[in-house]
Amino acid sequence: MITRDISFTWKSFSIRIVLPTILTVIMFLSAIFFLLIPTIKKNSLDRKREMIRELTNSAWNILAKLEHDEQAGLLTRNEAQRLAIEQISNLHYGQEMKDYFWINDMHPRMVIHPYRTDLNDRDLKDYVDPDGKHVFMEFVNVVKKSGSGFVHYKWQSRDNKFLVVPKLSYVKGFAPWGWIIGTGIYIDDLEDEIQGIIRNVIFFSLVILLIMSLLLGSIISVSYKTHSEQAAAEEELKRTQSSLAMAEKMASLGKLSAMVAHEINNPLSGILSYAKLCSRYLEQKTVSAELVAVLKDNLSLIAAEAKRCGDIVKNLLSFAKRTMGEIRETHLNEIIRVSTRIIDHSAKMKDLELMTDLDTGNDVIQCDAGAIQQILVSMIANAIEASAPGKQITVRTDYRDKKQILLYIKDYGEGIPQDVVSSIFEPFFSTKESNKSLGLGLAAVYGIVQRHSGTIRVESSVGVGTEFTITLPRTQNLSVPDREQRSQTT
């Protein structure tokens, strides 16, 4: 078997395999940077906000407990407030236990701050942070409006008065004493924590991405190999189908040749007889006017019979030379007329009438004209073999549908038994004697119809006849490789 290089269709492979792989990686990275990381930041901030709110509520409960003791007469207000200041000033948490609580009143005046003792008992109405924000007045306003809330501002980093950083605090009012208690988080600490989480996420994402890349690379490699093997198999299948079609064409051509040889034998015998008769006439010493007239009649008969032989051979050559494999627009009626003209002499030899009933509508169709002609010649030849002398064979078309055409081939021959109808399109299946057919005819017909995205149906009754119905779309959808191959062949 002759093999040839199979050009790998990178465009098709890229669209089917490589592009989805790249899109998967892009979507994975996009999900990390545009969905996962922002979600981590939001969730971390929400978690910290909830934390300082719960811590403030816990410290607020200390004030509430001491105020309850005051109301119960267990403590005086001064004693209760002194104990509150001592307990709150000793509450620490967080990094190195340096995060703290403070208390100011609604004036605002600082009641207790563990690191800014210089502010204790000072009037803070005019106190501003580096951005000019009246921090403590903001605390008072939030408490007056909502009873509690969050406030953004800038403050020194824990006990380091020389480092001022952004801070988010939660403050809550304690109405019985006119106090405000609060605690907060430093945004830089939160950013550091988030960055640490993000670094871990990115690290594990890169590990996952590496594993995905290895898996996708393996998939691409396997897909490439599979795609190449599939392309090679499809190409081999096309060559096999082409070889099968050519084998069937040669079988049909051989069958036609045998019919034509038998048919040509009659006119050739007449030509030979008239030629010998003319030769004998010319051997006579005198040639009369009557003899000249006889010679002219004989020569006219010889010319007519020779022309008949020429027409038969011309039709046979037309079938043999028809190119196959080219999809182009053509008129189906013309293909049918040529095909019936090729086989008509064989029908007449068996005293059969080959009739055509062609729709006069739009007969334009995209097809492989040579293959369609092969279908017609092969099926009409089968009909001739199946029909008894004096019967009819009809080829009929229907072009009323704008998207497809219908082609009918009907004979009134022996018919096909119902138990074998389902098998007639199988390769090497035949109802004829083994020495009369290769059994490729209807299998090749079925393959040609399938390649044209069409269908073929058969209705048959024993002793009544058989009708084949072929449905073909008016247009053919060619894939990119097919179009490239068509353009190269043309």
Q: What CATH number has the domain bearing residue 369?
A: 3.30.565.10
Q: Give yes or no for a contact between 39 and 184, defined as CB atoms under 8 angstroms apart.
A: no
The per-residue b/e assignment along 303-340, b for 16 or more CB within 10 angstroms, e otherwise, is eebeebbeebeebbeebeebebeebeebebbebbebbb
Q: Which amino acid is at 9?
A: T
Domain that holds residue 124: 7-254
Co-location of 242 and 344 in the same domain:
no
CA torsion angle 424 429 435 440 (round to 10): 80
> Residue 98's domain is classified under what CATH number?
3.30.450.20
Query: Which of 201, 230, 254 lies at the terminal end of a domain, its last residue?
Result: 254
Q: Which of 173, 179, 128, 178 is nearest to 149 (CA)?
A: 173
Co-location of 139 and 233 in the same domain:
yes
Query: Which of 235, 254, 273 lies at the terminal end of a domain, its last residue?
Result: 254
C-alpha–C-alpha distance, residues 413 and 432, integer Å? 14
* Residue 300, in any domain of the structure: no
Q: Give yes or no for a contact between 472 and 367, defined as CB atoms under 8 angstroms apart.
A: yes
- Count of C-beta atoms within a 10 Å radius of residue 195: 11
Q: In sequence order, what are the residues at sequence separation of 6 or more whose Cβ sits closer than 8 angstroms to the Cβ of residue 359?
A: 397, 398, 399, 400
Co-location of 246 and 329 in the same domain:
no
* Residue 270, in any domain of the structure: no
151-157: long-range pairs with CB below 8 Å, 24+ = 153/129, 154/129, 154/130, 155/129, 155/184, 156/115, 156/116, 157/186, 157/188
* Residue 260, in any domain of the structure: no
* Residue 264, in any domain of the structure: no
pLDDT at res. 345: 73
Co-location of 343 and 248 in the same domain:
no
Q: Which amino acid is at 463?
A: G
Number of domains in the chain: 2
Neighbouring-strand partners of residue 354 = 393
Q: Give yes or no for a contact between 308 and 267, defined as CB atoms under 8 angstroms apart.
A: yes
pLDDT at res. 342: 75
C-alpha–C-alpha distance, residues 113 and 124, integer Å? 13
pLDDT at res. 400: 94
Q: Which of 434, 432, 426 is nearest to 458 (CA)?
A: 426
- Residue 176, preceding bond cis, omega within 30 degrees? no
Co-location of 343 and 206 in the same domain:
no
C-alpha–C-alpha distance, residues 487 and 490, integer Å? 5
Co-location of 153 and 14 in the same domain:
yes
Show pLDDT as tens, one digit a residue, over the chain (490 residues): 333 444 455 666 667 666 777 787 788 778 888 888 888 888 888 999 999 999 999 999 999 999 999 999 999 999 999 999 999 999 999 878 999 999 999 999 999 999 999 999 999 999 999 999 999 999 999 999 999 999 999 999 998 989 999 999 999 999 999 999 999 999 988 888 888 888 888 888 788 878 877 887 787 778 778 877 887 888 887 777 666 666 665 665 565 566 556 556 656 766 776 677 777 777 776 767 777 787 787 787 777 667 767 766 665 565 555 554 678 899 999 999 988 887 887 788 788 999 999 999 999 999 988 788 878 888 888 888 888 899 999 999 999 999 999 999 999 988 888 888 878 877 656 665 544 443 446 777 888 888 889 999 999 988 899 999 999 999 987 544 444 444 444 4
Query: Which of 222, 254, 286 lies at the terminal end of a domain, its last residue?
Result: 254
C-alpha–C-alpha distance, residues 82 and 66, integer Å? 10
Co-location of 40 and 155 in the same domain:
yes
Co-location of 333 and 240 in the same domain:
no
**Is the CA virtual torsion 325, 331, 332, 333 positive or negative?**
negative
C-alpha–C-alpha distance, residues 309 and 316, integer Å? 11
C-alpha–C-alpha distance, residues 244 and 315, integer Å? 23
Co-location of 109 and 218 in the same domain:
yes
Co-location of 111 and 226 in the same domain:
yes
pLDDT at res. 40: 83
